[in-house]
Structure 1
Amino acid sequence: MAGIILRVTELLEFFNPSERKVAAYILDQQQKVVGMTVGELAEQSQTNKATIIRFCKKVGCSGYRDFSIQLAAELAVTQNHSQEEEYTDVRVGDDIGSIMKNVCANNVRAIEDSLLLLDSAVVQQAVDMLIAAHRVNVYGIGASGVAAQDMQQKFVRINKNCAAYEDSHMQLTSAANLNPGEVAVILSWSGETKEMIEVAKMAKKNQAGIITITRYGQNPLCEYADVKLFLSSPETSIRCGAMSSRIVQMTMIDILFSCLVSQDYHNVRRYLERTRQEVHKNWADKEKNK
């Protein structure tokens, strides 16, 4: 499970105002909070004990004691990200060197934070569904559509019946024809994209398996999922969030594909070798004809 600080940070916008007060105090005074009782934290954050308990459960802890133990363990093992490691927005007037550094740092940080959020047991559930699936339909719009196309390209290479859909009409049409034993992989960073929710409803109605890939936190889309894969990315003003979200979505696709190949290698090996040979042959023929 992800570190407690990362979970608190990722859930900030999902907290109610009182819970947000608790989160703000914890993020600002992490070392102090470790030694506090629930009453002391309630007093310092200007909330109450009930809010503290509700907050702890919302971030995946059984109660305040569990929260305190996890926080203390995390602080004992590692220090928080330094300021240099924080997500940095691209600012108007930045020089090229700064932009290069910030974009790369944001992408690396998003991948590292996503790794903390991912549960290997949940990833295994997704891999099992994909291996067993007779057909895999992948859905996404915009930047998520790019990741969907990438998944199609990878899965077709190992002869998996896989198609990616970006057009909203084709998305609904294909989802309407899903059957039990088939899987819909739905990508939506917010988890609130109307078209993706409609696809999920249709897939659920047809008893197809559903894997959702979204940012961390409860959202309307993941309510329909059999397997929920949560990722992390910054929220910044000049589309850095969109860039990093695309990177972590494609990294998630790489993880699923690599796990599938590793666990089903005896079945997919010949397809990997065949496609590699054909692509290389095609490239060699083109070079020869230049």
Structure 2
Amino acid sequence: MLIADKLENQKNMTVAEAGIAGYLITHGRDIKRYSTRDLADATYTSPATVVRLCKKLGFSGFNEFKDRFLEEQRFLEQREDAVDANFPFSKEDNAMRTANRIAQLHAQTIEDTMSLLHYRDLQKATRLLQRCQRAHIFSFGTTLNQAESFREKMLKIGCRVSISNNLNYQLYEARCLTPSDLAIAISYSGETDKILLVAQACRERHVPILALTSYGENSLTSYADCKLSLSSKERLFENTADFSTHVSVNLLLDILYSSIFLLDYDKNYQRKLTTTQSLEKNRRLEPLDENGNTA
């Protein structure tokens, strides 16, 4: 979860802390030379209030916050996107222009996701998948539908993957895992209460965790053994849809599948071919009439 999103959505802020958060959102890179006292003076608060807000955001103090916040600002400014990830089209656009802008957003998201993907992290994630007896995917909402596609591909090459669509069962399942399993936690914000309960249960049972989450630090990454970053230019709520997040999740899951496939390419291809043929051998194509309907 981006620090900017945390500043906008942090719960239980006092009026003074909310004033500091608003100042930080507005001034961004201007705080580069600020000390704790400088920020307190600029916001008519106290250094203690500044430090208290930074700790609520998960940092030890203002100096750590400032370093991470400025790093995030550099990341967000390194490339001016052609399409706004939150509002890729407007009410003035026609259908074809909207189609082109959505296509641009997909390409832009793929480029952004790849810029955040590092060889060392991918190698570690692949090893975790390779070594586990079964991977268990934990997430909520439409991401589970994307995970089902990953599960199907993995099963066809003999890799066991489990998904529970029941949110309560996910926590029960996490408490039944062993160190030979792998938990794959998918959460854009990395701050969802139930996913953090799952991660905590896995940590208590020494179950390795692979997190697919947004750029930067969040609560989920503190539990994870390995993290792959999602494209992180989409706001949590103020957007037309989670277009960018869905593209980024799909890309990373496809990359993970392909990395496992590569470990024994010929064997996995033969297994996938055999599995697919055995499932499809009884399927018949129904003839179509001149109107395209089955005869």
- Superposed pair shares fold, TM > 0.5: yes
Superimposed CA distance per residue, residues 144-182 of structure 1 (whole angstroms, 9 cap, x where no aligned partner):
212321221122121112111221132122212110121
Number of the residue aligned with 1:87: 85
Tell me what 1:64 maps to: none
- SS of equivalent residue, structure 2 residue 283: helix
Letter in 2 for 1:57: D
Does the Cα contact within 8 Å between 2:188 and 2:213 map onto a contact in 1? yes
Quick check: 1:122–1:227 contact (8 Å CA) kept in 2? yes
1:175-254 matches, within 5 Å, as 175-231=174-230, 232-235=232-235, 237-240=238-241, 242-254=242-254
1:275 is matched with which residue? 272
Whether the aligned pair in 2 keeps the contact of 1:152 and 1:163 (CA below 8 Å) is yes
Contact 1:138 1:151 in 2 (8 A): no
Equivalent residue number for residue 157 of structure 1: 156
Name the CA shift for 1:195/1:121 in 2 (closer, same or farther; >3 Å).
Answer: same
With structure 2 as the length reference, what TM-score do the two structures score?
0.70
C-alpha contact (below 8 Å) 2:83/2:101 kept by paired residues: no
- The CA deviation string for residues 95-131 of structure 1, in whole angstroms up to 9 with x for no partner, is 1112212222222212211222222212211111111
Gaps of 5+ in 1: 1-6, 62-66
Distance 1:55-1:174 versus aligned 2 partners, 3 A rule: closer
| SS of equivalent residue, structure 1 residue 166 | coil
CA gap 1:126/1:278 in 2 versus in 1, 3 angstroms: closer
Compared CA separation, residues 140 and 269, structure 1 to 2 (3 A):
farther
Residues of 1 paired with 2:65 and 2:194: CA distance?
32
Q: Distance in 1 between matches of 2:140 and 2:273?
A: 29
**TM-score, length basis structure 1:** 0.71
What fraction of aligned residue pairs are identical, expressed as a percent? Answer: 19
Question: How many matched pairs?
Answer: 255
On the 8 A contact 2:158/2:271 being kept in 1, the answer is: no
1:60-139 alignment runs, 5 A limit? 80-81=79-80, 84-87=82-85, 89=87, 90-92=89-91, 94-139=93-138
Q: Quick one: structure 1 residues 85 and 204, their matched pair in 2 at CA, closer, same or farther if it must change by over 3 Å?
A: same
